[in-house]
Homo-oligomer: A and B are copies of this chain.
Amino acid sequence: MHYFSASIERAVDELSKLPGIGRKTAQRLVFYLMKIPRQDVEELSRALIDIKDKATYCSVCFNITENDPCSVCTNNNRNRSLICVVEEANDVVAFERTGEFKGLYHVLGGALSPLDGIGPDSLKICELIQRIDDSVHEIIIATNPNAEGEATALYIAKLVKPLGIKISRIARGIPVGTDIEYADEMTLTRAIEGRSTL
């Protein structure tokens, strides 16, 4: 049963299709949009459409970009022998924010998850293998430290190893600034396994 007018119901329906937004949150957003000036809603609306009109995926690394290839792939100051493999474009943002990584990226577009129907063909794994030429010396796998991310890392490692290229996995351990007593068992196990000599 509908308690709102048609336009409000439709906006709630549309917003609650977004990931992480339920009907209650969608309702709250719609009430907020009712209160702000029309121009602000127009700007939001235009910005969303612009994503589709202007942004695309880099044909080399599959990061989100307005110019193909993207600014990282075309930047000659980047270390082209190093490719950091991540699941999503926001992972690239996280690494870029450190300002420490100077290599290139490869965005898989997710992680292997057979139960959700995400197999190797759903990810840009083939494209990664095809990118690897003599100029590439190391592949750093920076998929998430969960079951899907680890499975994806192992799968890629198996494909890359025969090419004779160094392949590494980012360290999993205690996050900086936290207490060991609050770390879970898996993280502590990984932290001990990955210990370095002082």
Min C-beta distance of A40 to chain B, whole Å: 8
| CB of A187 closer than 8 Å to a CB of B | no
| CB of A38 closer than 8 Å to a CB of B | yes
Scan A5-44; emit 1 where CB is below 8 A from any B CB, else 0.
1111011011101111100110111111110001011111
Q: How many copies does the complex hold?
A: 2
Cα A14 to Cα B51 in complex, Å, equals 12
Docked-complex contact A11 and B48, CB < 8 angstroms: yes
Instruction: Provide 9 A-B residue pairs closer than 8 Å at the C-beta atoms, listed in order of the A residue.
Output: A7-B47, A7-B54, A15-B47, A17-B44, A18-B29, A19-B28, A30-B51, A41-B48, A42-B49
Docked-complex contact A28 and B20, CB < 8 angstroms: yes
| CB of A192 closer than 8 Å to a CB of B | no
Please tell me which one of the listed residues B15, B50, B52, B93 contacts residue A4 in the complex, with CB atoms under 8 A apart. Answer: B93
Stretch at the interface among A75-83, A84-92, A123-131, A173-181: A84-92
